[in-house]
Chain A
């Protein structure tokens, strides 16, 4: 039977992390699929580390702050080492409802993809985020299509499920900062098949977004350069 590691990167999420872990168990029971929450505490300054060590979940405590990419990769490594058939990344702030995992899992099995991205934009339901943010997401969609010819409508979505083929790739090589759009290039260039499925997202339940104002300009620039470099590096290796 398939075992799915639900990787939850958490940085200062003491307000929402217990609810996310409980939601994963609830969703597992309802779906009849084995999900197991794996919380990666990215050296939080609040009580996240202590809270997760008492919850029914695997607690991976990073001794230094690695950023989202390094934290999620720790979870990928854990999943691969411990014989999980799939891993799915779910944000620690409650934006990704675990009930949506079943759709992704079913789609993954039906389509034979190695990576399935939970997307907000295929049908336009649920929480859609701001106009500025949607502009950025459109831009990355065009850039990815231009470079690798694959259309991903929501390449900034952190909600993504990977099978073991994909886990082998990302546990060796995964970007550190703002990894999501860049990882799409990584998947395609390593011969993985990517699919997208519509999910409904919520507004964040706690914490603040790491990307706003001036930082969104930095985000766009950094990710564009990172995408180009990843593309060049993997094309001419």
Chain B
């Protein structure tokens, strides 16, 4: 087994361990962890199965296997970033509504007349 393969397997396993710890400690919500677990598992599979990348690339008609890696990775990242922007927008709306409610309730509590 060449060193890079061992390195890839160890790195993927450590990453998986780190994500699991974050979920257990409650710092990462499960719904956001799916994409991370999924990509780590994919990395693991291709770390063990060395010819896999060539086989999949050939099957899809991609001449240079690394191009498939870059294309797929960038696509997944873009989709996930879009998802995070949506999450941020929703949180923004919720924070706004909450702080407005808070201001209205506080006024009711401290009403002068």
Contact = CB atoms under 8 A, between A and B. Distances in A.
Contact of B107 (A70, A78, A176): A78
A64 B104 contact: no
Interface residues of B, number: 11
Contacts of A63: 99, 102-103
A74 B96 CA distance: 9
Contact of B104 (A60, A66, A176): A60
Contacts, number: 38
B100 A62 contact: yes
The interface residues of chain B, by DSSP majority, are classed as: helix
Contact count band on A: 10 to 19
A60 B96 CA distance: 14
A73 interface: yes
B77 to A, nearest CB: 25
Contacts of B22: none
Contacts of B102: 62-63
A74 B99 CA distance: 9
A61 B100 CA distance: 9
A176 B102 CA distance: 18
A176 B110 CA distance: 27
A59 B104 CA distance: 9
Interface string B71-94: 000000000000000000000000
A58 B100 CA distance: 14
B87 to A, nearest CB: 17
Contacts of A59: 107, 110
Contact of A66 (B99, B106, B107, B112): B99
B103 A40 contact: yes
Contacts of A60: 103-104, 106-107
18 contacts: A53-B110, A59-B107, A59-B110, A60-B103, A60-B104, A60-B106, A61-B106, A62-B100, A63-B99, A63-B103, A64-B99, A70-B99, A74-B100, A74-B103, A74-B104, A77-B100, A77-B104, A78-B107
Interface of A: 40, 53, 56, 58-64, 66, 70, 73-74, 77-78, 81, 176
